[in-house]
Amino acid sequence: AHRESEQQTLVEEERRLFYVACTRAREKLLLTYAKNYGGKRETKPSPFLEEMFANKITPSINQPPVTSYHLPVSNDQLPATSNKLISVSYSQIEIFKTCPRQYKYNYILKIPTLPSSALNFGQSLHRTLKDFHQRPFFGQDPSFEELLNIYQKQWLPGGYQDSKHQDLAKEKGRQLLLDYYQNHQERLFTPIHLEKRFTLHFGPVKLNGFIDRIGTNREGKTELVDYKTGKEGAAKEELDKEAKNSEQLSIYTLAALEDFKIKADQVCLYFLEHGYKAVSTRSDKQLEKTRDSVSQVIKEMGASQWPPSPGFHCQWCAYSQICPEAKLDG
């Protein structure tokens, strides 16, 4: 009965959204659907259409499926793209190193992409933990119920296949937070900074970002922590190796030193799926090497014509369907 009630509530919400969308039309309202969206079965029109019209719906266009269609090419030229850099993020650097063409599509041409369930899931947990750990700064000691309330407010719903997929992900996040609350939160220090914004300067270019957590642990050592999701099933040796080789942690260590005058004794990746904190360190020599390598990449970004770099990563690229060089055959 409870499940049926939830389903009915969902249908009512979808009906409301459909009605609101229809009433936004000013002069004409065109309602269309495809017989197939790429699946094995043909799709049926929304039942809300049947509710809206008294007479049986008949297609206004009944033509054979289009197999090929050539759009007229406009003579209008796209505005010239500029590769003059003012500021970058670590994500931009990482994408550029993977494929300059993907970087161009994303950050130069700013071609929009569909929401990503994996990114939204990770951001939902990041935001939840930030809010949760800010409460003690205001004299609060939040319970698990309050943690779940925060989670509900911070949940980002986009990118999931359907409501069932989203429900499974949301429940997985709830279990991760329960495990974190019961078993692991005390292993982490009381933070001095949460989501601390930093700026590193590389000549005229700024590298901006956020460090999830900065503070002093029980041994009196200063730690930087970055929360991670998406490593389910990985061995602890693999997680330790990732922390050891993480350029992102090196950049955070450099930022803490140069921007906040904080020398980190330890840098950590906290893997929420494992409840595991992978600890590493960074030497002065490593930080110098990181600054040099990042500086070189930023120079390349400023001079690049953004050539494609096809490979296995094309399988996961949001632009693979519009990139003529995409390698999708494995």
Decide if 214 contacts 256 (C-beta within 8 A): yes
- The answer to whether residue 314 is domain-embedded is no
Question: In angstroms, how far is CA 181 from the centroid of its own chain?
Answer: 23
Tens digit of each residue's pLDDT, the chain (330 residues): 556 666 777 777 777 777 777 777 777 888 777 776 666 677 777 887 777 765 555 555 555 555 555 556 555 555 556 667 899 999 999 999 999 999 999 999 999 988 899 999 999 999 999 999 988 877 788 899 999 999 999 999 989 999 999 999 999 999 999 999 988 776 667 788 999 999 999 999 999 999 999 998 888 899 999 999 988 889 999 999 999 999 999 999 999 999 999 999 999 999 999 989 999 999 999 999 999 999 999 999 999 899 999 999 999 899 998 999 998 875
**Calpha distance 108→3 (Å, rounded):** 46
Inside any domain, residue 140: yes
Tell me how far apart the terminal alpha carbons of the chain are, to the nearest angstrom.
46
Give the DSSP letter of residue 270. E
Location of structure tokens 């759009």: 71
Please provide residue 276's backbone torsions phi and psi, each rounded to the nearest 5 degrees.
Answer: -125, 135
Using alpha carbons, select from 324, 298, 323, 326 the residue that is nearest to residue 106: 323
Q: What letter represents residue 163's amino acid?
A: S
Note whether residue 23 is domain-resident.
Answer: no
Six token digits for residue 7: 């389903």
pLDDT digits (tens, 9 = 90+) for 221-280: 999 999 999 888 899 999 999 999 999 999 999 999 999 999 999 999 999 999 899 999
The one-letter amino acid at 141: D
**Rounded-to-integer distance, Cα 90 and Cα 210, Å:** 10
Q: Is residue 206 situated within a structural domain?
A: yes
Q: Which domain holds residue 207?
A: 117-291
The answer to whether 128 and 154 have CB atoms below 8 angstroms apart is yes
**Global model pTM greater than 0.85:** no
Structure tokens at 235: 């061995």
What is each CA distance from 172 to 97, 232, 302, in whole angstroms? Answer: 32, 12, 41
Q: What is the DSSP letter of 126?
A: H
Tens digits of per-residue pLDDT, 136-171?
877 788 899 999 999 999 999 989 999 999 999 999
Q: How far is CA 175 from the centre of its chain?
A: 20
Give dist(CA 263, CA 253) in Å, integer.
Answer: 7
Q: Is residue 181 part of a domain?
A: yes
Residue 244, in any domain of the structure: yes
CA 211/CA 225 separation, integer angstroms: 7
- CA separation for the pair 225, 214 (Å, rounded): 6
Query: DSSP states of 171-228 as a string?
Result: HHHHHHHHHIIIIIGGGSPPEEEEEEEEEEEETTEEEEEEEEEEEE-TTS-EEEEEEE
Environment class of 97 (CB within 10 Å of its CB; exposed 0-12, middle 13-18, buried 19+): middle
The answer to the question of residue 213 being in a domain is: yes
CB 90 within 8 A of CB 209: yes
Work out whether strand 205-216 and strand 222-228 pair parallel, antiparallel, or are unpaired: antiparallel
Does residue 193 belong to any structural domain of this protein? yes
Closest listed residue to residue 232, CA positions, set 175, 181, 202, 271: 271
For the chain, how many structural domains are there in total? 1
Q: What pLDDT is recorded for position 104?
A: 95
| CA-closest candidate to residue 161, choices 116, 111, 212, 209 | 116
Look up the CATH number of the domain holding residue 214. Answer: 3.90.320.10
CB neighbour class for 55 (10 Å; exposed up to 12, middle 13-18, buried from 19): exposed
